[in-house]
Structure 1
Amino acid sequence: MSDDHGTYLVRLIPEQSGPVLIGRLGTLTLAGGELLYVGSALGPGGLAARCRHHGRLAARPHWHLDYLRPHCRVAGCWVARGLERREHVWARALGTLPGASWPLARFGASDCDCPAHLIRLDRVPETAALSVLLGVSLVWRAAPDQFEEPEP
């Protein structure tokens, strides 16, 4: 991924059920299924830095996802390169999938009018189906060993 910019989806597998305090945002209840977090990586470090950050536990949580991470395993990230800001369109599209829900209003979306950037699904679609839904070719990176691509 190097320092390419783009939009990404983090696939999270909850490791427990029950309430999780997400900073000042409120309480998210983990209750089965899987979670997808949608974000953009348009700043320094790009996709690799952002996916690496989400793959680790934060010593001092700052982002909403930092508070959730200790309770979930990161299965990996899907990425799409480019400078277009896609996370808002993606979050809304993912919310249309059968059985999709936004488990905590405004999660990851405190600076926009999206319901949330965290979506709960009973089952996450395969890469090809996600690519069709989101209108862009996605690349899967398993956590954390494939977050960086070797330099040629």
Structure 2
Amino acid sequence: MSTFFKDINDQTLRQLPKVAGAYVLVIELSADLILRNIRFAGTVLAKGTYLYCGSANGPGGIAARVKRHCKHDKKPHWHVDELTSSGAGRVVSVLVVPCGDECGLRHRIEGAAHCAVTIPVPGFGSSDCLNCASHLLRIAADNDVEWLFQNLDQAI
């Protein structure tokens, strides 16, 4: 069963499950962001709403990984760190799926009938994945993320 944490703050971060699974970060970019990661250097992510599908199977599970993504001061490790540690990017909500699969979530999001998503950067967050073009999706501004996650929840 998935849980949608609509507003990320200290209280909601304490409620995240400490189990292995998958998650979808909803990241708001308040301004255009020029990527600096060697692989994507010079690529511009336009201001808007992005969905990043990830997994957490290590110590602390989903809670530890999502909390790390929400920190602004951190040593970059994953591609998404560039978005979440920039002054322009902020995690505003998260869908967590204990025992879930990041690739399955990503494919369900892309296949949602009401949801217009695009792949802004091929290979972003999916360098170790053979099935996905990217684990970062851009969602159209007029789409309702909460509606999307409620409908995904029915399919999970």
TM normalised by structure 2 equals 0.75
1:29/1:117 Cα in 2 relative to 1: closer, same or farther (>3 Å)?
same
**How far did residue 33 of structure 1 move?**
2.8
Question: Residue 111 of structure 1 aligns to which amino acid in structure 2?
Answer: D
Which string of whole-angstrom CA distances, capped at 9 and with x for unpartnered residues, describes residues 32-81 of structure 1? 33000001112111011011000012432111011122131110211111
The structure 2 residue matched to 1:122, chosen from 140, 143, 146, is: 140
1:133/1:112 Cα in 2 relative to 1: closer, same or farther (>3 Å)?
same
Q: Does 1:39 align with 2:57?
A: no
**How far did residue 3 of structure 1 move?**
1.6
What's the counterpart of residue 20 of structure 2? 5
What's the counterpart of residue 12 of structure 2? none
Contact kept, 8 Å, 1:32 with 1:122, in 2: the verdict is no
What's the counterpart of residue 39 of structure 2? 25
What's the counterpart of residue 108 of structure 2? 93
Q: 2:38 & 2:57 partners in 1: Cα distance? A: 26
Q: Unaligned regions of 5+ residues in structure 1, if any?
A: 137-152
Q: Unaligned regions of 5+ residues in structure 2, if any?
A: 1-15
**What SS is found at the alignment partner of 2:53?**
strand
Contact kept, 8 Å, 1:6 with 1:41, in 2: the verdict is yes
**What SS is found at the alignment partner of 1:79?**
strand
Contact kept, 8 Å, 2:83 with 2:90, in 1: the verdict is no
Q: Does 1:63 align with 2:78?
A: yes
TM normalised by structure 1 equals 0.77
C-alpha root-mean-square deviation of aligned residues, in Å? 2.0
What's the counterpart of residue 9 of structure 2? none
Q: 1:99 & 1:128 partners in 2: Cα distance? A: 13
Contact kept, 8 Å, 2:30 with 2:47, in 1: the verdict is no
Runs of 4+ in 1 over 6 A off after TM superposition: none
Number of residue pairs matched?
A: 133
1:58/1:64 Cα in 2 relative to 1: closer, same or farther (>3 Å)?
farther
**What SS is found at the alignment partner of 1:64?**
coil
Q: 2:33 & 2:20 partners in 1: Cα distance? A: 35
Q: 1:18 & 1:111 partners in 2: Cα distance? A: 24
* Structure number with higher helix proportion: 2
Q: Percent identical across equivalent pairs?
A: 29
Q: 2:48 & 2:140 partners in 1: Cα distance? A: 4
